[in-house]
Amino acid sequence: MLHIPCILKTKPLLEIFSAILLTLLLYGTPARADNLEQLRASGAIGESYSGYVIARTPHAQAEAKAINTQRRAIYQEKATAQRVGVDQVGKVYAVEIFKKLPAGTWFQKENGQWVRK
């Protein structure tokens, strides 16, 4: 049986671990995360209220599609486990993503309007 140290059972560490896991799941490999950050900083990609990225320039469409494919798989897994709609899960993740976005990142609101954080 695996022994888990008491320190790993604390709530703050579990929250940190969850945040790290969420970041890895949403952004994939570190190279993909770096690329996403560069695309966001340039304005080529923006985030959406739906939990998915949107290509704001034609050259970012392939990257946006790849990121959204990963996110959709994560959202679907969570939706199935919680017996809710995948769109509902995406919107919950969107709130968490928005909180972590750097200032200046483009974000599309539900009414379709683009704003900078």
pLDDT of residue 25: 55
Write out the E strands in 1-117: 45-48, 53-55, 106-108, 114-116
48: domain range?
A: 29-116
**Mean pLDDT, contiguous 10-residue spans, the chain (117 residues):** 45 53 53 77 96 96 94 92 93 92 94 95
Task: Let me know if residue 23 belongs to a domain.
Answer: no
- Classify 116 as helix, strand or coil: strand
Q: Are strands 106-108 and 45-48 parallel, antiparallel or unpaired?
A: parallel
Q: Please tell me the total count of domains within the chain.
A: 1
Task: Let me know if residue 1 belongs to a domain.
Answer: no
pLDDT of residue 6: 46
pLDDT of residue 19: 56
Contact (CB, 8 A) for 104 and 41: yes
Task: Let me know if residue 12 belongs to a domain.
Answer: no
Cα 46-51-53 angle, rounded to 5 deg: 30
pLDDT of residue 35: 85
Task: Let me know if residue 3 belongs to a domain.
Answer: no
Q: What is the pTM of this model?
A: 0.72
Task: Let me know if residue 17 belongs to a domain.
Answer: no
Measured CA to CA, the distance from residue 79 to residue 90 in angstroms comes to 9
pLDDT of residue 3: 42
